[in-house]
Chains A and B, each alone.
Chain A
């Protein structure tokens, strides 16, 4: 048994968390100028490079981007589950109710995790332990964090499975992960994240591995639970459709940078960054059938060797000399939105 496990058995979280003073008037989650680096054989990769956003209760913040843009790394940094090394938080702050999580000691952080902030991963099968029953894994959270007895924990597990809509939860609580279907496993993951009624849930590509009909079920469940429990939800996905369906605000990431931030309606109607515009245009549309799709030319950059200036300039049709020299700051765009493009006005109007 590891030290951490013994420690948490002696100290169910009340002890550790009661010493931290959370300011209930402060924003739920505030990420400011977050920087995460990966030290690799080929040099330092700046996976997250100065990302800032704020999440309020009951709000859904979407982080949109392609593979390698740093969206999952941002989630892992918030949860404090980065693989260190090679990853390292190189700067910035992550404040939960006014308290910086990055300066917190590991013991307290452990309790914030799950109690205050929980995460749902993409691949439910590999996130669940195949040799323990689902009920045991759900109950474990209660036993470790609240010091509940096994019987109490099992009762809680059944309650949770019912909450996420698993039929005949009383029997299913003794089943192993492989006995569940993909959609049900993702429901179990949601149940696990909800166990201690956290204030923030981070869903990292929660439906990417699922079929569309099951995806619709899971997204509906997640949305309903978020509404009834007034949680803040950070939804990470590359699917523009899912995003349009559930997010309130969006943060678009490209090569570690937040390139555009806006409300979902503003962003889909009139993007203010060429990358967002390119993404929206590359979706096949009914009225343009038979025509070529408008693809973004070229490839995303290698993070250990990003292009100078704006990381998107080699693929951008608005790019000029200035873009090759200096990375653009995040400009304030009317309507409370932001865009990291020198020529955002031009993009908005095009």
Chain B
């Protein structure tokens, strides 16, 4: 943090921040308008991509966000990065509110939050060399590393992520998927951020390479005291890497707890169904697991069900679920918050006999 030491607060780089929570999200909402008409555009409805999400991210912690496609987990990541403007709610990064920042202020704030994207093929410019890609953050934040030292800084970064520093003049197509993801990670590390938002960073990779990249994420976290928001749909990878896990369904957090609470003691029916649907790589468990197969598909986020959003697919749903929206609060008999009126523990990942 040599660069940020020389700066004081108020311009986005907060070296003086001493709080526990590097990110604080409160009641965050993002609505995308659905319009009709070409000349006279009329907003006919809103897609509620993220609808009232709150959580904290502690320093050095990994928060896993899991959920199926369309649940708003990627929009949440983009909101944290300031790539989308929040409709309402607040995001505090190192104590500073970033939803209301000017573009310039946002740019300075991003020095502390960076992102690793899902697809290592489309997230790297094919016409730029690796050196240019990884060094681009230094061009934007020109005071971080003096011009002369940039090449060396980029080579150091390549070395840190396990790439050959001599490959600095190569182009992305000369690398494999796993190596490209390492380039993306090096770029995210360039500004020495506090927080990295990882949006499905290993889902495009093959199993054998995936393990290498997951290991890299863990090593970097220890080395640089990073905090991660780790967005993924692969529940076993999230379990391995995350300290706490948030389960999202249709723009809302259904259940939030530490890794053990979510995986071993899930209380929300959706979490239970999700966990039980994950195939376990052990043929001996075949037919010996409490598998919940949900009916139907995820409803449209433009027109979500009233009350509890999961009720249309839930086997526990009753009258109250249609009228009253369950809040994400601690439920009796459980140590972590769950957004279900009938939250109750059920073991879904172990063999039943």
Contact = CB atoms under 8 A, between A and B. Distances in A.
A212 B239 CA distance: 15
Interface in B283-322: 283-286, 291, 293-294, 297-298
A245 B297 contact: no
Contacts, number: 116
A40 to B, nearest CB: 15
B278 interface: yes
A215 B233 CA distance: 13
Contacts of A183: 297
A283 B279 contact: no
Given A241-B279, A265-B283, A282 B210 contact: yes
Nearest to A263: B283
B204 to A, nearest CB: 10
Given A212-B277, A284-B240, A268 B215 contact: no
A283 B211 CA distance: 7
B348 to A, nearest CB: 12
A217 interface: yes
B236 interface: yes
Interface residues on B, range: 35 or more
A238 B298 CA distance: 25
Contacts of B239: 284, 286, 289
B293 A284 contact: no
Contact of B207 (A215, A217, A240, A242): A240
Interface in B235-264: 235-237, 239-240, 259, 263
A283 B293 contact: no
A213 B341 CA distance: 22
A279 B279 contact: no
A66 B277 contact: no
Contacts of A214: 68, 297
12 contacts: A212-B68, A216-B276, A241-B280, A244-B281, A244-B285, A247-B283, A265-B283, A268-B284, A283-B207, A286-B263, A295-B215, A296-B211
B294 A217 contact: yes
Interface residues on A, range: 35 or more
Closest 7 CB pairs between A and B?
A241-B279, A284-B240, A295-B211, A282-B211, A211-B68, A66-B206, A296-B208
A217 B277 CA distance: 9
A44 interface: no
A184 B297 CA distance: 9
B214 A217 contact: no
B352 to A, nearest CB: 15
A9 interface: no
B141 to A, nearest CB: 32
Contacts of A296: 208, 211-212
Contacts of A216: 276-277, 279, 291, 293-294
Given A216-B293, A282-B207, A211 B279 contact: no
Given A66-B208, A292-B218, A295-B212, A213 B281 contact: no
A220 interface: yes
Contacts of B5: none
Give the residue among B176, B178, B273, B282 with the most A Cβ atoms within 10 A. B282
B225 interface: no
A222 to B, nearest CB: 13
A282 B294 CA distance: 29
Interface in B184-242: 206-212, 214-215, 218, 233, 235-237, 239-240
Given A211-B69, A217-B294, A265-B284, A284 B237 contact: yes
